[in-house]
Structure 1
Amino acid sequence: MQPSRPLDVVYDPLYTTSTSHNKYEGHKRRVVPNKRPISIKNNSGLVSGPERHKYFCRPVLPHLQAETPEVLYASAHDAANIMSISEDLSASTRSIGMQTMYRDSHAQTDPFSPEYVLPEGAVAPEIESLTNLRYRKGLPVTQAEIRMIEHNRKKKALKKVLPPMSDEASLNLRKRMMEAQEIMDLKFRENEIDEAHARRIEALQESLAEREKQSQAINSERMRRLEKTLMLEKEDANRRNQHDRIKELRKLANKRQRIQTILNQGSKKRDLIEEYADYASPVYAPQMRNGNLVRKSPVPEVQFKDHQLMTLDSIRELEKNLPPQIRTSPKNQFLKRAPLMKKSRDQMTMETHLLNVESAINKQHVQGEEKLPSSPYKGQYRAILQRPSTPNYAPQIAEAGSEVNALRLLQRLIRGRAVQNMMYEGKDRRAELIAELRESEEARRFLSSSFQVPAEETEITKSAFSHVEGEVVSELLDVLQKELIRNKEIAKVYDFAQKAAEDRHQREIEEGARRQLEDLARDRHDQIYCFVTDIHRSTANDYIDSIFEDAVEDLTYRDSVVQSIIMTKVIDPILNILEEENSEDTIVKDLVSSFLFPWVQKHHTQDQALLEKRKYTSAIQALLAKVSQSMRI
């Protein structure tokens, strides 16, 4: 029977055959060829992309010529390139690319260096020594690169004038010149190291100064914030204390007033005359909170009519006869009050509180001398008010005319005395100013009369004045000279201290750098010593291990040889004799007995040991039982 798909055995991976070997397996593996033809190029392993330039490098191979690898392995220019360059130079216009400092992404790029080779026997140009310079690695050229170029020129010049190695004298001279050149190279390198060290120290000093400045700024800012916080807390605490003090003083004053009112109600009687004389008393203005109704004032209205002033002409006549100061009101001249500061307001508040407290204490002393009532609540009961009779003051006013005039005269005298006292107080308060004005007046009079003084007195006076002025000026100049000397000494000491501090700081920096270098060298030596020690230790361990392995192998070999000799020469003859003398059953019985008897003997010994332990245990239990029974009894 022909199958429908005869090639399933080749292409179907799940196809199975009746035999263990599939003859089509090899054909299936060869369906896809293993080798690619040469015409097909696979570039999947090549480097590509924007980072492709990082994988370009030339191999560093040993060479015998004194040229750099760039010159040695540079590719030669072919004639076609030379012709194209000459054609470009001969053209009227050409396109030139130039290397800028920055590209579009503001990142510096190294300029392109074309490949070149030197023909055989040609002298290497001087510019060849500058091929290793790159941007920020020698370019742009500075004074250091110029010194390096001059140093290289001197070396080349010295190499040119070196004597040949033909005889001993030339060899010695060549040796001395090379030693001098080596010393010069060492000095040049030492100078470079010193400059680098100086730059590092300068950078370190700048960083230290910057850090010190930052720390000072941070500390000053922190101190300013702390001071501001403390001042705010202090002001807040003072404000709270002032508020609490005022509140407590008001409470004390109110409490004292209430107690004083209670005491006065019990001790003081009602003064009807004083109440009726005071129009603000409850007689005229009763308080509604006490249950009194507002009623019409009992004081009668007095109507005064002057028939002479009822006409317009009489009023005009009266206006003409009035003095001008009555008809014109003076201009209000308000005094500008100076603004009060916080300190003045606090002082005024303190004085007011002190006066209130003093008045309250004085009242308390005055009331303490009086006889207190038997009960402080005796005067709290309000008496029934009765309306008194309406007084008549008309005859009293008429009779008291002379008394009123006398009182007015007395009032004028008192006011005049008060003004006089104010004048005397002002005079006492301005006594120094008055004395100064009098002295100036006397001096002016003296100067006006000095023209009449003889010339001798004038000279004496001038000499006296000049003597006094000279003494004062000399003393002042002496003090200023001493102060100047003292300031100079202080400045000198301050400069000396600053210089000493700078020197100490510089020495600390140098010592720190030196110690850092010593620590680095010590760590490097320790690391090298550890590496060498580990190598020696591992070598010794390997050597000892190899010795031990050889000894063990030798011992095992000897033991195996001895055991084989014993087995062949001693044990095998004995076994052969025993096998010949005894049957197999006897040998089996001997083997079984050699295995079973030791086991039985071991168990027998263990049973005897258990019996011994049980004997002592039973004796102890019996003794404990007897003791417990005796204790119960």
Structure 2
Amino acid sequence: MDAEKMKVIEEPKTKVAEVQTIFRESEAQTNPYTPEYIVDKDNVPEVLSIASLRFGKGLPASMIEMELIENMREKRAFENALPPTSDEACFLLRRKLMEEQEVREWNKREEDIKRLQNERLNLLQSALVEREKETEEKHAQRTEEIRLKKTENKERALAKIQRKRIKVLRKMYKARKNVEIKGKKRDIISDYANFGSTVYAPITRDGLSLDKKANKYEVQPEALSSYQGIEELSRSLPNNVFMTNVSVQKFKFQFNNSLSRSENSHMAQLKKAQATIDTTLKQQQQKDQVQVVQSLINQIKMRPETPAYKEFKRNDLVINEGFKDRMEQNMKDDQKRRAIVLLQRLVRGRAIQNMMFEGKEKRLDLISELRA
């Protein structure tokens, strides 16, 4: 019996499992449940002042609802702080405070109305701007479509004209090939009557040279054909033909006498001005030469003197007991001096190399042009 109770129960192939979770679906959300309640007239809870708010209508609360709640709290505190209407003074004070509160409420309402109007105006303005943008985009698109259409029509018309032109040119070319060249009979009378014809002005391409018969009209006197003829011609001419005596002073004197007083004064002023200009130019040239020489002298860079180190000079060799020590010291001094001189040479050579490199870099374009 105990063995039967201890028999293992097999687990079914399928089973149902239930679980509780805090997650939900938005479609299953409903308005929160509000239980029924009884309000005590003497003690009204503050939460009932926002009982009109519902989910989707004020809840969850935004800044506007928060301001509304704060205003309700202030109004409730103000009503609780009002004096009672027991006597006339308290009544007048209560009336005055209520009037001031009413004025403040009206001012706040006006501000709220203005704020709402401004928001609506901003929305309207933004809507108008968007509409204008859409209209401009439509107009621009329409203009672009018209332009593309006109361009396509123009290209089509140009292509048609080009095809027509090629067709006409081909026809003209074929017509020229078929033209028969017919000879024309020469009219001798009209050729001789027209002085522009080939009779008077032959054409070179027809095989006639214009200077073919020019030697018939050349003047070649026999006296100029030989040296003896030239000598005879020179003997027959008088001597005054070969001798010319032109006096420049005579013409100069005549020119000066023909000048008037104002012209002579003008000539004197011109000579004076020319002399002043020549003197100034000469002084300027001398000054420029002095400046050039001075600049050349300033550009000359003297080589600095090589420093001499007295301690490196050899001492007089005196044969004494410390002769070997002195010889070793002198050899060391000579080695130091040679090392210093070598360093000086290296530094100066490097400086010259740097100067040459800078000059090469400055004139690199000119060197490239000369190499090209």
Question: Which of the five TM-score ranges fits, normalised by the shorter chain?
Answer: 0.3 to 0.5
Larger RCO (CA under 8 A, 6+ residues apart): 1
What TM-score results when the alignment is normalised by the length of structure 2?
0.42
